[in-house]
Amino acid sequence: MIAALMERELRPIHDKVRAGERITDEDALTLYASHDLNALGAIANVVRERKNGNVATYLLNRYINYANVCILSCQFCAFAAKKRDAHAFELAIPEIVETTRKALGQGITEIHMVGGLHPTLKAEWYLELLRSLKALDPNLHLKCFTAIEARHLADRIFKLPLQETLARLREAGLGSLTGGGAEIFDQAIRDRICRGKETAEEYLDVHRTWHRMGGRSTCTMLFGHIETMAQRVDHLRRLRGLQDETHGFTGFIPFAFVPEGTTRELREIRPTTGFDELRNLAVSRIYLDNFDHVTAYWVSMGLPLAQVALGYGVDDLHGTIMEEKIFHMAGAKTPQEQTVAALENAIREAGREPMQRDSHYNRIAPTFRAVPVEMAGVGELAGV
């Protein structure tokens, strides 16, 4: 898009981005206030293509939720349960191993596993779980636990300093941390949607510690509930700040709040619109200049809109996932899984070049024909 066609207030931001300059919080608020969605997409595209060219990636992964029993009761969460609840579940290690074995047969490279803050599972249970999965295939990447779970494991289960807990988990097979639990960092919002949950600083400190140990992780934003645009910018600023410090985040994955299935107060909230989904992705892409990747999470936004997002700053469509519980228990109507064919077709149709990636967003190779037939043909809270 030619800058002259943009709203006047967007032109200086466009110029800054083209010159490789960082935008300010005020610029981000100007972008959020704009209705010129195509201009936002065009500006975001400058960053997206500078960093990733025309390639758009996806991952062959499987989600597993080992348990939904949780000591907290975040108001926005439809996933968690108390032990006495009818919808409470806890998987046994052999069951998780079997599910993983099958998924490996379908070509996955990553298990993505989160649960609630379980009150009684022992430290040894978590270690044995990781070891058992790693024993199936040493190359399988285990992306597990939100920062909130990691904090819980350290403080209440392992009863060890965070770094030592993370070191033990890594020794057992932990490959990277998931990004879930960030929600919106502003404490006033946390007090209303997830009272009692760890603070923004605690979330960031887990990632900081993990990054300093040489680990990598993703990070998230749960938007489209009661937060203001200024609170979204505050959230992005804190992520950008930590990334300046550690360079440990591989990608940013925002997802919209799903009101169905949450508390009565939150259920009244209007679901996020397609406009806001694309605007939020575009602004995030422009603001997070020190992040290499921005992912469109098809589980919450649907693959059709995630495909459109490839023109609004997004360079990654996440993964096959295969079984998602957290958003679907909250009322998401999207499918449970995507096939490689569906992801590749969506990317190609949008004019991008599909590439399979690993858990750290490294491109592996186009695998469409190499993937077993069942994967090609049939097709966390959220700890993404």
Contact 41, 311 (CB under 8 A): yes
Tokens 């595209």 locate to 45
Q: Does 329 bind ligand SF4 (CB under 6 A)?
A: no
Cβ proximity to ligand SF4: between 150 and 375 the closer is: 150
**Binding flag, residue 74, ligand SF4 (CB under 6 A):** yes
Q: Considering the rule CB under 6 A, would residue 157 count as an interface residue with ligand SF4?
A: no
CB distance 60 to 340 below 8 Å: yes
User: Which of 73, 132, 163, 290 forms a contact with ligand SF4 (CB under 6 A)?
Assistant: 73
The residues, any chain, with a CB within 8 Å of residue 241's CB and separated by 6 or more, are none
Contact region with ligand SF4 (CB under 6 A), list: 42-50, 66-74, 341-349, 354-362: 66-74
Q: Is residue 72 near ligand SF4 by the rule CB under 6 A? A: yes
Q: Total residues contacting ligand SF4 (rule CB under 6 A)?
A: 13
Short-list 306, 308, 298, CA closest to 351: 308
DSSP assignment of 274-287? HHHHHHHHHHHHHH
Collect all residues with Cβ–Cβ distance below 8 Å to 35 and sequence separation of at least 6. Answer: none
User: Identity (one letter) of the amino acid at 89?
Assistant: F
The answer to whether residue 41 forms part of the interface with ligand SF4 (CB under 6 A) is: no
For helices 274-287 and 229-246, what crossing angle results, to 10°?
40
CB nearer to ligand SF4: pick between 74 and 296? 74
Smaller CB separation from ligand SF4, 81 or 108: 81
Among 148, 299, 371, 384, binds ligand SF4 (CB under 6 A): 148
Based on the shown chain and the rule CB under 6 A, indicate whether residue 203 belongs to the binding site for ligand SF4.
Answer: no
179 binds ligand SF4 (CB under 6 A): no
Stretch 100-139: interaction string toward ligand SF4, x if CB under 6 A: ----------------xx----------------------
Length of the chain: 384
Q: Which of 40, 43, 77, 184 binds ligand SF4 (CB under 6 A)?
A: 77
In the complex with ligand SF4, which residue's Cβ is closer, 219 or 317?
Answer: 219
| Rg (alpha carbons) of the chain, rounded to whole number | 20
- Is 11 or 82 the residue whose CB approaches ligand SF4 more closely? 82
CB atoms within 10 A of CB 311: 18
Find the binder of ligand SF4 among 91, 108, 194, 371 (CB under 6 A). Answer: 194
| Residue 203 in tokens | 């979330």
Is residue 200 close enough to count as binding ligand SF4 by CB under 6 A? Answer: no
> Do residues 288 and 17 lie in contact, with contact meaning Cβ atoms separated by under 8 Å?
no
* 66 neighbors 96 (Cβ within 8 angstroms): yes
* Pattern 352-381, ligand SF4, x by CB under 6 A: -----------------------------x
For residue 62, give the 3-state DSSP assignment.
Answer: strand
Q: Is 80 in the site for ligand SF4 (CB under 6 A)?
A: yes
Cβ distance to ligand SF4 smaller for residue 173 or 180: 180
- In sequence order, what E strands does 39-97 have? 55-59, 61-65
What's the distance, Cα to Cα, between the start and end of the chain in Å? Answer: 32
Q: Which parts of this chain interact with ligand SF4 (CB under 6 A)? A: 70, 72-74, 77, 79-80, 116-117, 148, 194, 197, 381
